[in-house]
Amino acid sequence: MDFQLIVDSLPFLLKGAVLTIQVTVIALVAGIVLGTLLALARLSPIKPLSWLATAYIELIRGTPLLVQIFLIYFGLPQVTGINLDPFPAGVLAFSLNSAAYVAEIMRSGIQGVPRGQTEASLSLGFSPRDTMRYIVLPQAFRRVLPPLVNESLNLLKNTSLLSSIALVELTRAGQIVAARSYKPFEMYLGIALVYLAMTMVLSFLSSRVEKRWGAGERR
Amino acid sequence: MSTADLSAQNLSAQKLTAGKEVPVSSEPIIEIQNLNKWYGQHHVLKDVNMQVLPGQKVVVVGPSGSGKSTLIRCINRLEEFQQGDIVVNGHRLTEARNLPLVRREVGMVFQSFNLFPHMSVLENVTLAPRKLRGLSEADARARAAALLERVGIAEQAAKFPGQLSGGQQQRVAIARALAMQPQVMLFDEPTSALDPEVVGEVLDVMRGLAQEGMTMIVVTHEMGFAREVADRVVFMDRGELLEDLPPAEFFGAPRLERTQNFLSRVLNH
């Protein structure tokens, strides 16, 4: 066992980890924004809009993420002539993918806010749109924090799939070192630990937020 | 029509004898005309007609499922209705563009309080005046502070609804509705979800509001409150508005057998 290898290659691995974090953060923010819009579209009384959102969500959830990545990285240039570098292609694929999952999370969160909240807001004179903005969505976000954290953990770990389109994120970085050193066990154990460290930080941060948001809301 | 005229007379008489004159205009502030509502096949409101004059306190009673909550929820159109019309302060509810206008003038207090749990008490009371009446943060806070003082919970302003008792929450809900300075207040069984020992504190706030001349429509099972505060008691059963009488007559000499049966059930338990 050569654990010195992990230590020696750590700077290289951490460079990859930075890319992993970048893809995760950008895709998560985009996913939450797009996903919330998709959830609102799906709950909309305008039927075609609702159908369109449902179709998109089913399409994304029903196909493998790796295939979606390949479609964007290899397939898009063929039909549009636009060549995307691995990084923007990866960010795009993960944003579109996480939007669908976040949409379903947000939909259940919005539907979980009691009807009385909407009625109280309408009775004060707020429009349906302002009711969504000031009353329903802020409560929905608090409710969906745990499943949203779950989605971000999945997102973070799934970015390892981007190693397949030659983006030197954490997993790809590990593969390179493993191939050079012929020490795959140490190397993959090493990158597993780096992933674990990142997910633990994320879990810790989210539990802090949850506590703070929950503080005023004891029922 | 005749009952409304009668009770209007009765009201002015009462106010004069009480030694304080509340200006009573003869123009109704709420006019419900031939209101019909169905849930599927179920006819929940049957040809309901009612007028409320400014300053009047109308208490609506009746067995559960009689349509009394549905009726007052139609007044700010939280419930849709299929036939008839409601005119509030000159605005027809069937014209969709009037709806936000009407809702700003009609405050509502719910059985389950429905305070916004993600906001402090102060934010609950300041949100609507800031966003809908264009009040500055400072003005909205001053108005909220005065209202919270009036409902007796000024010291709880920084707390969240979940930290308050039911009675306190309902008083905040009343303050929240009053912060819009509505012309009419609707109360939908405001004390039904409360522990018995805190019912009194909410009724006291409502009594105070009545004394100040607020136009109120109250759905309640509190017969003592109806007897004491109401100008008119309206009795509903199975979607029909059956009686509309001054409390002394309603409790003393109800006309219909259904009313008598209802009263004997609620008064002798």
Beta bridge partners of B184: B106, B215
Chain-centroid distance of CA B11 in Å reads: 18
Q: How far is CA B266 from CA A189, B222, B223, B224, B248, in A?
A: 74, 9, 8, 11, 16
Quick one: what percent of chain A has pLDDT higher than 70?
97
pLDDT tier for residue B5 given thresholds of 50, 70 and 90:
very low
**Amino acid occupying residue B262:** F
- Vertex A126 angle, CA A112 and A135, to 5°: 30
Closest Cα in chain A, distance from residue B111 (Å): 10
Q: What phi and psi values does residue B33 have, to the nearest 5 degrees?
A: -120, 120
Rounded to an integer, the average pLDDT of B112-136 is 96
Contacts of B101 in chain A (CB under 8 A): 125
Give which of B69, B75, B103 to mutate to test A binding, by max A Cβ within 10 Å: B103
Nearest to A138 by CA among A202, A66, A213: A213
**Amino acid occupying residue A49:** L
Q: Which of residues 111-130 of B touch A (CB under 8 A)?
A: 112, 114-118, 120, 127-128
Mean pLDDT of chain B: 90
Q: Does residue B233 register a pLDDT over 70?
A: yes
Nearest to B250 by CA among B268, B236, B240: B236
Q: What confidence score (pLDDT) does residue B88 get?
A: 94
Nearest to A120 among B114, B132, B162 (CB): B114
Nearest to A114 by CA among A134, A133, A140: A140
Q: Does residue A209 register a pLDDT over 60?
A: yes
Q: How far is CA B123 from CA A18, B13, B100, B137, B208, in A?
A: 41, 41, 21, 10, 24
Q: Look up the ipTM and state it.
A: 0.88
- Angle at which helices A115-124 and B166-178 pack, to 10 degrees? 30
Q: Does residue B97 register a pLDDT over 80?
A: yes
Q: Is B180 on the interface with A (CB under 8 A)?
A: yes
Q: Which of residues 44-63 of B touch A (CB under 8 A)?
A: none
Q: Which two tokens stand for residue A10?
A: 């750590």
Q: Which two tokens stand for residue B230?
A: 């109401």
| A22 touches A86 (CB < 8 A) | no
